[in-house]
């Protein structure tokens, strides 16, 4: 029965409004090439419209459309296979584009085979691509290519033969790019150690290297496979991979690459958080008892130079106590044991982004020299607004401030240049009294005072029990990391566990705040809690 005009128009409207984009993406997924996808999608639309014009009335319009789409794809695939069989029986030179005549050039440019050939050249490694381009596109002789590449002519011919085979195989494939080709992801990183060259941070500032690391995480791939997954042509992918290899963030195994740092997936992070949280409240109570018992002894060591409250002193003492007991573990090793290719020693790990059940990051930033260091715990829960606080001292401020404190210098003796440096410190980290003396508003750990603080904490009756609890949490963390790790990372897992066990700092702070044992400062942006200077 012929289809009524109104029904036909309804079908055509539905086709244009609901299926145009869907048919194109269906075609793109099947062909892996936008040019071929457009042709296939147009062929499908033509057949749908022609069938409707002939009066066909589908019972289920959507199923009917996709039936036509699949049938036309099958026709496309058969035609492509026939073309490629013809190509496989011929020499690749049949498709070279360096012809001198306009007619031949136009004929070649219109060739679907040339589009396939160009597509595959984007996924051939430089070992073959450079020779293929030189021979077939630049029309150079094998002898000249051999001289320019410092290879024997027989090697060039052998690679040309191998390249033809690779290209033919690729042309028979329907490329399907990975999700990262259109939906790049992000990842957070954490580092420790000495990084004067700027590595590893400068190697991971863009989306592409981040997504290369994510794609190769526990998932070794060849360059070609990686290029397809990320939707990036080989000439560009080779350069990016080399940069990451040089930065020691990737490792090559045979002809495949794998990420050479641990990236904690959201599942891994959740399991670690759950394991560390299991006995965290008990640890927090022990830490609060220890610190509360010892605040007066810390003051006796002279680390407080102003009228700092017990609450402000406790902010430093609680976090410092967590560090003290964690770092006393035999298994703890925050410094990555292997030197990097450039001679630096640093550790690096990544964290997949996800909605965490608790914000646990906390940094420990320092600036200065072997004889004088400024330190600040960077409190990472943004609901507390305590990450930056009063800021941080730079190298010059730190060395000058340490000299002033060590030698009890008075403002009246400052030179003009010293007064300029003092302006960066005054009313941030220190102030002047009525006599021009310098009063530190951050804690001061001179000489062996830091070690004395550690000894006092370790001498508390609860110290052993607390240490055992942290050791248990560390062991649980290692087990979880191994579960999610590639074998090449085995030597790094102790370092990684040492990094993530420090999440217990923020857990303890949260527990203390909830229990009203720590009070958030009224003016957090000006606060100097959990900051100190050390000097010898």
356-387, pLDDT tens digit by residue?
899 998 999 999 999 999 999 999 999 999 99
What are 109's two structure tokens?
Answer: 């440019």
> What average pLDDT does the structure give for the chain?
86
Which pLDDT score, from 0 to 100, does residue 100 have? Answer: 34
Angle at which helix 34-53 crosses helix 20-31, to 10 degrees, equals: 130
Instruction: Tell how far CA 262 is from the center of its chain.
Output: 10
Region of 111 (left: φ > 0; alpha: ψ -120 to 50; beta: rest) is beta
pLDDT digits (tens, 9 = 90+) for 75-97: 887 777 665 554 444 444 443 32
- The DSSP call for residue 60 is S
The stretch 200-206 carries a mean pLDDT of: 93
- Report d(CA 217, CA 495) in Å as an integer: 17
Q: Give the residue carrying structure tokens 């100097």.
A: 528
**Coil/strand/helix, residue 104:** helix
Q: Give the residue carrying structure tokens 């992801």.
A: 185
- Report d(CA 24, CA 39) in Å as an integer: 9
| Neighbour tally for 398: CB within 10 Å | 24
CB-CB contact of 368 with 530 (8 Å):
no
CB-CB contact of 385 with 378 (8 Å):
no
β-bridge pairing 250-253 and 256-259:
antiparallel
CB-CB contact of 203 with 209 (8 Å):
yes
pLDDT digits (tens, 9 = 90+) for 238-293: 899 999 999 999 999 999 999 999 999 999 999 999 999 999 999 999 999 999 99
Q: What percent of the chain has pLDDT over 90?
A: 57
Which pLDDT score, from 0 to 100, does residue 453 have? Answer: 98
The stretch 198-217 carries a mean pLDDT of: 93
Q: What percent of the chain has pLDDT over 70?
A: 88
Going by pLDDT thresholds of 50, 70 and 90, the confidence category of residue 153 is: confident
pTM of this prediction?
A: 0.69
The stretch 15-39 carries a mean pLDDT of: 77
């Amino acid at each position: 029965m012929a289809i009524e005009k109104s029904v036909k128009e309804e079908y055509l409207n539905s086709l244009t409004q609901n299926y145009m984009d869907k048919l194109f993406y269906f075609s793109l997924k099947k062909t892996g090439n936008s040019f071929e996808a457009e042709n296939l999608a147009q062929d499908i639309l033509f057949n749908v419209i022609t069938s409707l014009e002939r009066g066909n009335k589908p019972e289920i319009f959507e199923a009917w459309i996709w039936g036509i789409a699949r049938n036309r794809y099958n026709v496309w695939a058969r035609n492509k296979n026939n073309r490629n069989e013809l190509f496989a029986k011929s020499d690749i030179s049949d498709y070279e584009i360096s012809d001198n005549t306009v007619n031949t050039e136009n004929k070649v440019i219109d060739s679907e085979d040339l589009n396939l050939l160009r597509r595959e050249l984007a996924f051939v490694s430089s070992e073959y691509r450079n020779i293929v381009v030189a021979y077939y596109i630049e029309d150079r002789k094998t002898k000249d290519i051999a001289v320019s590449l410092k290879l024997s002519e027989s090697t060039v011919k052998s690679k040309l033969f191998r390249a033809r085979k690779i290209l033919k195989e690729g042309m028979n494939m329907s490329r399907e790019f990975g999700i990262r080709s259109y939906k790049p992801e992000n990842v957070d990183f954490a580092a420790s150690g000495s990084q004067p060259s700027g590595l590893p941070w400068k190697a991971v500032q863009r989306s592409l290297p981040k997504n290369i690391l994510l794609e190769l995480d526990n998932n070794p791939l060849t360059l070609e496979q990686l290029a397809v997954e990320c939707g990036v042509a080989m000439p560009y992918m080779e350069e990016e991979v080399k940069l990451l290899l040089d930065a020691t963030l990737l490792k090559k195994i045979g002809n495949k690459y794998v990420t050479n740092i641990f990236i904690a997936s959201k599942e891994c992070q959740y399991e670690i958080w759950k394991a560390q949280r299991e006995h965290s409240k008990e640890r927090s109570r022990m830490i609060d008892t220890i610190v509360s018992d010892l605040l007066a002894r810390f003051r006796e060591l002279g680390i407080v130079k102003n009228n700092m409250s017990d609450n402000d002193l406790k902010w430093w003492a609680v976090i410092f106590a967590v560090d003290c007991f964690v770092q006393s573990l035999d298994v703890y090793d925050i410094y990555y044991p292997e030197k990097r290719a450039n001679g630096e020693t640093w550790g690096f790990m990544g964290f997949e982004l996800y909605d965490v059940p608790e914000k646990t990051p906390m940094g420990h930033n320092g600036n200065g020299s072997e004889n004088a260091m400024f330190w600040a715990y960077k409190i990472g829960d943004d609901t507390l607004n305590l990450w930056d606080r009063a800021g941080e001292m730079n190298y010059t401020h730190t060395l000058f401030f340490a000299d002033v404190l060590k030698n009890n210098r008075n403002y009246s003796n400052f030179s003009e240049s010293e007064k300029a440096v003092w302006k960066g410190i005054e009313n941030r980290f220190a102030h002047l009294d009525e006599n021009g003396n310098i009063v530190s508003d951050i804690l001061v750990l001179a000489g062996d005072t830091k070690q004395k603080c550690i000894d006092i904490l370790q001498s508390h009756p609860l110290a052993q029990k607390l240490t055992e609890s942290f050791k248990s949490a560390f062991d649980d963390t290692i087990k979880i990391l191994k579960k999610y790790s590639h074998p090449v990372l085995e030597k790094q897992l102790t370092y990684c566990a040492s990094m993530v066990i420090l999440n217990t700092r923020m857990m303890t702070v949260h527990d203390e705040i909830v229990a009203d044992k720590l009070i958030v400062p009224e003016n957090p942006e000006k606060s100097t809690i959990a900051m100190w200077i050390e000097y010898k």
